[in-house]
Structure 1
Amino acid sequence: MSNESNTTTVSPLISPLHGSTGVPGDKSISHRAVLFAAMAEGTSRLSGVLDSDDVRSSLKAVKQLGAQISLEKTPDGSLAGGITGWGAKGPVQPDGPIDCGNSGTTARLLMGVLAPWDISVEITGDESLQRRPMRRITAPLMKMGVRFEPEGRETLPLTETGTRDLRAITYDAPMASAQLKTAVLLAGMYAKGTTTLNEPSPSRNHTELMLPEFGISTTAADRTASVQGPGVPQGCEVRVPGDPSSAAFLVCAAVMKPGSSIQVENVSLNTARIGFTRTLERMGADVNVRHAGSAGKEPYGIISACYTPNLHGCEVPADKIATIVDEVPVLALVAAHARGVTVFREVSELRVKETDRLAAVVEGLGLLGVDAWVDGNDLYVEGQPDLSVPAGVVFDSKNDHRLAMTWALVGLCGNAPVEVANFDSVKISYPQFLSDIEGLAR
């Protein structure tokens, strides 16, 4: 691997991938652990927290609001230590805007965190985050009594003014979104009565699993979640398991790289997060999941994967997309190596991620001579079982960490080096991605 003028050259791995490895702490769970601990009364002990740009945005935000942070880097590269929250007295008025960087999770969850307090806070972010839709969060919070200015604006920056007199609501969400659900539940903790959110299909349930650890009465079913308020979360202990979205890139690499056989250990096996393993199984990939225990209510264990030469296309139905939304780019790359057509149904959410991932996947696979197209909200990939990487391919990651890792796999698992522009964006979720994968090829 070499790096020049913001473009990284990624060369084919000399050896197959073998052995066992871990992945960094789960990003979704890390954000929630930090934010919930900041809201809580007393000190929470956290371990396994992901040290990435996105999670540091959440840490910086709660520090500005008055939480006391004493997390330190551990030998495995994660963060561990204590967070003392503001509890019943509430957050302090920050001395300036809260900059969430590139982190949509920080910005959207923070809106729910701030909702019950009568302070005015400007929430902003980088250029990419300022293009992402926030109306999905502001709409239900406004029904609860929160104000956002400028009125009618659908993107950041926004100034939020909360209220100590929040109304409990029942809200039918227009899309399955764990960020939307979490923001509403966090506000609902402080409203009098039961706040309920209903979804069209299941989304990640980390919030419903974690809030009871903080002493908050929460109910959760397949497509509905509710919280009973008012209540103040109490400090507790949270251990963050490995991130399945990061594991997905190692697993897909093993499936594509001839002769490979790996295990990813201590990874979250939350069913709302490992849809990628089921999609790979549908393609005929040799992938297995084995439970080992649980961290709080979050199950964790081992995902093993082996090289699979005879992959075939499959259809991923719309109601499964929420469980693979971050993995669609890398699954589309695996589909490019499969016989036949793979269809991902109703993936419009990919248009409003860090970049338009739908257009980026079609563009990137096109550089490999792979036919990929969008029809309505469906993504189609026509695979080539004997796919060969042309010489001199340059991919644009568009500063999107999932795309950067996906295009890096083309070089790592293929027959020719590729270049990836702005590969550094991997720091958002998986800073040691390349060193982990190179370690498995030794």
Structure 2
Amino acid sequence: MSLAWKAARSSGLHGLLRVPGDKSISHRAIIFGALAEGQTHVSGFLEGEDTRATTRIFSQLGVHIETPGAESRVIHGVGLHGLQGSAQSLDCGNAGTSMRLLTGLLCAQAFDSVLVGDASLSQRPMARVINKLDVMGARISARDGNFAPLHVHGGQRLQPVEIDTSVASAQVKSALLLAAMYAEGESVITEPRPTRDYTEAMLQALGWPISYSPGRIRIRGGGRLQGGEIRIPGDISSAAFLITAALLVPGSDITLENIGINPRRTGILKALRLMGGRIEIFNESEQGGEPVADLRVLHSALKAIDLPESLVPDMIDECPIFFVAAALSEGTSHASGLAELRIKESDRIASMVAGLRAMGASVTETADTVTITGGRLHGADIQSRHDHRIAMSFAVAAQCASGQTLIHDCENVATSFPGFVDLARSAGMILE
């Protein structure tokens, strides 16, 4: 059953807020905890539909995972070669991260596997992962060569490679790294532009022989992972919606606690600061190898920018909320290098352009660019296209719009930000 939200103008956001754990790190904690020797204790785990799908899959593969309390997991690792095949398909739900990373892991196993997903995930391209893994000797069959279901054929002997990912995608890179763990020898993986390094950092923290710098990784097969403690910080992608709302709504002053500020994820903070956003970063520390901090955000008069293309890979999931900020800023903003947005949960360029135009914004698009002239917005009927980040972006836009906004098909917000409506309302957003 479709879930719709009603949203309207806010009079200000206030309070000390904590967002759910980082989704990218939560996926990886399950994966690498399962492949480790001994127990891995995870705290701050994201209780979202995507991460729970990953957990269910590893349970199918013979890994015992306990849930001692909310946002915590105890993973009883089975080691690098301890996974067991499943006679049933492995359902990734809406989780593209899970499907792409697991393709890299499962192609190195002794057994065959079938990865499936929901209607949205089944339309998202997988060929760029499949084709790179094929170079290593993997055998993966896909519908039309590009889409789930993916039939991953086990029993292949994977070869070490020197390979460029061709696209700035942490998911493609991570799939290759997982496969390279099983190859006999050293692999070197490079990227056209650096992407988030959560996979590399967690492998290193758990003892795997790996060295890396931005855009280049050396990894040797045949190592061992040792279970340990993983503390997951708050997800900056989730925080971005509240940050942007506080910047845009007059009178706002919020503080967000324990947010992950990995340099490969803070593009949105840099972009909003370039626009004049007042975002204070304090209480900086390190948590399980990841930098974390508290953020104070105050209402600011934002000005349009030409978004530096170098920031795009570090804020690819935050581009929709950046478009909202641009639509409510003074002047005309331009962003390029956005082709990756076309193949997310929805075509996020098309989804955002249609919604912003419905709210009265002046927006133009090309295949990989968006130009937005800031101004006043009014309420409208918005189709989120079952995309969680589109739904939350327009919930923020509505806080500065005249009249009421109705946002359709919001059920998938549970994949990344369970409790979004309750937390947003507690801060002062008008949303039901």
TM-score bracket relative to the smaller structure: over 0.9
Deviates more, 1:22-31 or 1:153-162: 153-162
Secondary structure in 2 aligned to 1:230? coil
Cα displacement (A) at 1:32: 0.4
Tell me how far apart the structure 2 counterparts of residues 151 and 360 of structure 1 sit (CA, whole Å): 26
Cα displacement (A) at 1:117: 1.1
The alignment's TM-score, normalised by the length of structure 2, stands at 0.96
Tell me how far apart the structure 1 counterparts of residues 103 and 288 of structure 2 sit (CA, whole Å): 26
Q: Does 1:97 align with 2:93?
A: no
Q: Is the 8 A contact 2:377 2:400 kept in 1?
A: no
- Name the residue aligned to 2:327: 336
- Name the residue aligned to 1:170: 162
Cα displacement (A) at 1:339: 1.5
User: Which of 415, 420, 425 pairs up with 1:428?
Assistant: 415
Tell me how far apart the structure 2 counterparts of residues 205 and 330 of structure 1 sit (CA, whole Å): 23
Q: Is the 8 A contact 1:189 1:232 kept in 2?
A: no
- Name the residue aligned to 1:48: 44
Which runs of 5 or more residues in structure 2 are unaligned?
Answer: none
Cα 1:221/1:61, change in 2 over 3 Å: same
Correspondence 1:142-153 to 2 at 5 A:
142-150=134-142, 153=145
Which runs of 5 or more residues in structure 1 are unaligned?
Answer: none
Cα 1:150/1:282, change in 2 over 3 Å: closer
- Name the residue aligned to 2:221: 229
Tell me how far apart the structure 2 counterparts of residues 388 and 299 of structure 1 sit (CA, whole Å): 36
Per-residue CA deviation, residues 236-275 of structure 1 (Å, 9 max, x unaligned), is: 1101000000000000000111100111110001011111
Tell me how far apart the structure 1 counterparts of residues 156 and 35 of structure 2 sit (CA, whole Å): 15
Q: Does 1:437 align with 2:428?
A: no
Cα displacement (A) at 1:288: 2.2
**What's the RMSD between the two structures over aligned residues?**
1.6
Cα 1:431/1:150, change in 2 over 3 Å: closer
User: Which of 188, 205, 209 pairs up with 1:217?
Assistant: 209
Cα 1:16/1:177, change in 2 over 3 Å: same
Cα displacement (A) at 1:291: 4.6
Identity %: 35
User: Which of 338, 348, 351 pairs up with 2:339?
Assistant: 348
Q: Does 1:28 align with 2:24?
A: yes
Deviates more, 1:28-37 or 1:222-231: 222-231
Per-residue CA deviation, residues 83-107 of structure 1 (Å, 9 max, x unaligned), is: 1122143311102111100000000
Per-residue CA deviation, residues 410-434 of structure 1 (Å, 9 max, x unaligned), is: 2234332211101222101011112
Tell me how far apart the structure 2 counterparts of residues 397 and 5 of structure 1 sit (CA, whole Å): 11
- Name the residue aligned to 2:358: 367
Correspondence 1:8-407 to 2 at 5 A:
8-13=5-10, 15-74=11-70, 79-150=71-142, 153-163=145-155, 165-309=157-301, 311-384=302-375, 387-390=376-379, 393-407=380-394
Tell me how far apart the structure 2 counterparts of residues 259 and 55 of structure 1 sit (CA, whole Å): 36
Secondary structure in 2 aligned to 1:355? coil
Cα displacement (A) at 1:439: 1.3
Per-residue CA deviation, residues 33-61 of structure 1 (Å, 9 max, x unaligned), is: 01111111221111110000010110011
- Equivalent AA in structure 1 for residue 378 of structure 2: V
Tell me how far apart the structure 2 counterparts of residues 243 and 274 of structure 1 sit (CA, whole Å): 11
Tell me how far apart the structure 1 counterparts of residues 317 and 412 of structure 2 sit (CA, whole Å): 15
Cα 1:405/1:73, change in 2 over 3 Å: farther
Q: Is the 8 A contact 1:261 1:306 kept in 2?
A: yes
Per-residue CA deviation, residues 68-120 of structure 1 (Å, 9 max, x unaligned), is: 0102433xxxx213111221433111021111000000000101221221211
Q: Is the 8 A contact 2:253 2:297 kept in 1?
A: yes
Cα 1:440/1:6, change in 2 over 3 Å: closer
Secondary structure in 2 aligned to 1:258? coil
Q: Is the 8 A contact 1:185 1:226 kept in 2?
A: no
Tell me how far apart the structure 2 counterparts of residues 353 and 376 of structure 1 sit (CA, whole Å): 14
Secondary structure in 1 aligned to 2:312? helix
Tell me how far apart the structure 2 counterparts of residues 238 and 94 of structure 1 sit (CA, whole Å): 27
The alignment's TM-score, normalised by the length of structure 1, stands at 0.94
Structure with the larger RCO, 1 or 2 (CA within 8 Å, 6+ apart): 2
Tell me how far apart the structure 1 counterparts of residues 415 and 54 of structure 2 sit (CA, whole Å): 12
- Equivalent AA in structure 2 for residue 99 of structure 1: D
Secondary structure in 1 aligned to 2:186? strand
Tell me how far apart the structure 2 counterparts of residues 196 and 20 of structure 1 sit (CA, whole Å): 44
Tell me how far apart the structure 2 counterparts of residues 343 and 432 of structure 1 sit (CA, whole Å): 32
Secondary structure in 1 aligned to 2:203? helix
Q: Is the 8 A contact 1:145 1:163 kept in 2?
A: no
Cα 1:211/1:10, change in 2 over 3 Å: same
- Name the residue aligned to 2:4: 7
Cα 1:186/1:10, change in 2 over 3 Å: same
Cα displacement (A) at 1:302: 1.2
- Equivalent AA in structure 1 for residue 9 of structure 2: P
Cα displacement (A) at 1:9: 1.4
Per-residue CA deviation, residues 137-170 of structure 1 (Å, 9 max, x unaligned), is: 1112111111112586111111001336321111
Cα 1:419/1:73, change in 2 over 3 Å: farther
Q: Is the 8 A contact 1:344 1:380 kept in 2?
A: yes
